[in-house]
Structure 1
Amino acid sequence: MVGPARTIFHLCGRPDIVRFFDDPAYVLEDEIVSIPYGCDPAAFLLRRYEDEGKVPMDTPMNRQVTVVAAVAIPRQVTASVTTQRLIDLFPNCRPLGIDEAVRCVRSKHHKDPARFVLNTKRLFVDGFLEKNGLMFMGLSLSNLERCLSFFVPVICSNNFDNEFGPGIYTTDQFELAKDYAKVNGAVMVFDKLEERDLQVWRPELDAWNRLTATWLKLPLSNIRLPCEYGTAQVIVGPTSCDQSMARKNRRFPRQSDDTQFAFVSYEGCSQLRKSLLAIIFIT
């Protein structure tokens, strides 16, 4: 019987990755995994398993020896919202100032994302998470630590889900960010995008098609990046929802109803880092 993890890779047309997961060095169990819109399934799962320390040290697809150290939720973070200095939470952090602090809380995982969001909002008794314009980014604890050390995109060979190009991606949907964080991850909460300080580009459909086709490496000819891409510091637009079928049928992907904010310049990433308000740790 083929388990769910292997089945999804067969559906993606990636038998090489199926053989990769058959490696005896893996410690995976069959599970049903929801893949967020705009994400290549293979890249998403490979990155997740690497973050969890389940990638074997020496395989045809991963020849570099990497020691994955477990990152735990800081002990200062409790089930009640508190304000904590970032340097106290993560000693490897490079804070904007010695006293830079954010609001932190532990929130219990729930298989229903809507229920998780509701329960988490109740932890902030002042209605903080009801504020309009907040942006969210879900990530693993190890990636959270990396981001706080150096807030720039981490470029990996398996990051095929960055459909607006290299950058730091956020969403205005708390539930979607939670999908990326999974269990034992974290959600970073940022303040509203201040467009007056940045070059913000919202591509129309034709430009969005060319942009996503370029960075998803779809098998289409005569595709060029729109000229606006070269000057944009932040790109705002919908995620795609059928990358695999678009690649298989040699067509553009369809747009989903979810919006993503891609910070694709040094200035954009710097402004996003300055707007960090809170970190929600999922237990």
Structure 2
Amino acid sequence: MPVIYSREMKDPKLLEENWLDPIWVEGFGYPGPVPPEIQEYLAFDCARLYSMIGSIRSIFWLFGHKELVKVIDDPACILEDEIVAVPRNANPMGFLMTYYPELGKMPLFIQEVYDGVRLPPSLHVAPAFQIPDAVTSEPSQHCIADIYPFTRPQTFPETILCLKLKCERDLHKTVGQIRRKLGGSFNIDSDTAWFRGLNMVRLTLSMSSFIPVTNPNAHGNEFGPGIYAAKDFKTAASYARPSGAMMVFKDPDLRDLNVWRPDLSDWQYLTAHWLQLPLGDLRVPESYKHADVIIGPRSLNQSEARSKKCFAKQSEDLQLVCTSYDDAGGGYHLQGMYLKDEEQSLSKRTIKLVEEGKLDESEQTSINFPFESNEIEVNPIVAGVTEV
């Protein structure tokens, strides 16, 4: 993990003393009345989804990166200050330094320093995935090959059901729109559904090769390299807004796979290693070496665990991680949700969700629904913490 991702966070109380905007931080809250632009993310019990919400200028400063504050203040740079909501399990700096370079907003020399590599001048950036024109505000079936011509033959179904909706900053409202539009077609509260949030670039890559990939900059993978999916819809959506995607898996077939559900002790050792908590003598759980799929709780209070040099706590939210090529190729059947942020005077956000799954050995179904939103500010960001 690059050094940038492991720096300790300063005391949030120092922000105002240094003429910086205060931010909301998990476990600390906000110093005073919460402003509307932050409160919008906290409504309807959504505070559990985030580790911090606030100005990226303030977040960069909190982690000791004054050079990034200067980039924001420099009128020659296109990176501007905005409100972001960092998903709870994401390393804040890893989250931001994955997202902004992929938007082309991070200066190349800064990106080289923080990635620890020198990038070639002809660096190719994967194109943002566009919402197909054929997708409308009414549910309709479309052939994947027609919508995504560069999709390779995989275990995806031939057709998917598509629907375009507006995405609200308030996830509760977005969920309500989904339920109203889909009716009985798909239940996002189903016990058999899993959701994966990611950005548009990773969606494009996943459409071509849906496999676990080892990435040295992965910053939220607390069970190690793999394809991550959350049990809770809102949890996954927090990683996918406003410029990303969410894959939705229905009824994954795990019968022929080695599924590991670690007990508390194994879970603590596993997360401590991959979160790089300052603990010694961490044993490797034997079951980890042979697992195709890992299912267990997401962690809580990672910053507190680092500062106190203790194990992280378990949350009530489950996550599923595909860790081998076998499960990625055979047990899962496509993906789902896209968000897209088009830079206009009114931010236009698009989310597209696709739900697909295997009903039996001969029939597969899918649902694909994008959203569009018009809001005054471009605030939350997404960097695909579920990056593989």
TM-score of the two chains, using structure 1 as the length reference: 0.89
| AA aligned opposite 2:370 | F
Over 3 Å counting, the alpha-carbon distance change for 1:279 and 1:54 in structure 2 is farther
Over 3 Å counting, the alpha-carbon distance change for 1:2 and 1:28 in structure 2 is farther
Q: How does 1:1-283 map to 2 (within 5 A)?
A: 1-3=19-21, 4-11=55-62, 14-16=63-65, 18-20=66-68, 22-23=70-71, 24=74, 26-59=77-110, 60-62=113-115, 63-65=118-120, 66-68=123-125, 69-96=127-154, 100-130=158-188, 131-274=190-333, 276=335, 277=356, 278-283=367-372
State the match for 2:51 in structure 1: none
RMSD: 2.2
- Cα distance between partner residues in 2 of 1:217 and 1:97: 35
- Cα distance between partner residues in 2 of 1:184 and 1:160: 18
TM-score of the two chains, using structure 2 as the length reference: 0.67
Instruction: For residue 121 of structure 1, give the secondary structure of its aligned residue in structure 2.
Output: helix
Higher mean C-alpha displacement, 115-124 vs 148-157:
148-157
Higher mean C-alpha displacement, 150-159 vs 220-229:
150-159
Contact kept in structure 2, 1:37 and 1:239, CA below 8 Å: no
Counting matched residue pairs gives: 280
Over 3 Å counting, the alpha-carbon distance change for 1:257 and 1:91 in structure 2 is same
| AA aligned opposite 2:234 | E
In the TM superposition, what is the alpha-carbon distance from 1:37 to its structure 2 partner? 2.4
Instruction: For residue 83 of structure 1, give the secondary structure of its aligned residue in structure 2.
Output: strand
Contact kept in structure 1, 2:162 and 2:369, CA below 8 Å: yes
- Cα distance between partner residues in 2 of 1:8 and 1:99: 42
- Cα distance between partner residues in 1 of 2:243 and 2:184: 25
Extract unaligned runs of 5+ from structure 2: 1-18, 22-54, 336-355, 357-366, 373-388
Q: Going by fraction, where is strand more abundant, 1 or 2? A: 2
Extract unaligned runs of 5+ from structure 1: none
- Cα distance between partner residues in 1 of 2:332 and 2:104: 27
| AA aligned opposite 2:211 | V
In the TM superposition, what is the alpha-carbon distance from 1:272 to its structure 2 partner? 4.5
Instruction: Report the structure number with the largest CA radius of gyration.
Output: 2
Contact kept in structure 2, 1:187 and 1:281, CA below 8 Å: no
| AA aligned opposite 1:19 | E
Contact kept in structure 1, 2:78 and 2:105, CA below 8 Å: yes
Contact kept in structure 1, 2:157 and 2:334, CA below 8 Å: no
Contact kept in structure 1, 2:156 and 2:334, CA below 8 Å: no
Over 3 Å counting, the alpha-carbon distance change for 1:111 and 1:250 in structure 2 is same
Contact kept in structure 2, 1:135 and 1:189, CA below 8 Å: yes
- Cα distance between partner residues in 2 of 1:275 and 1:97: 7
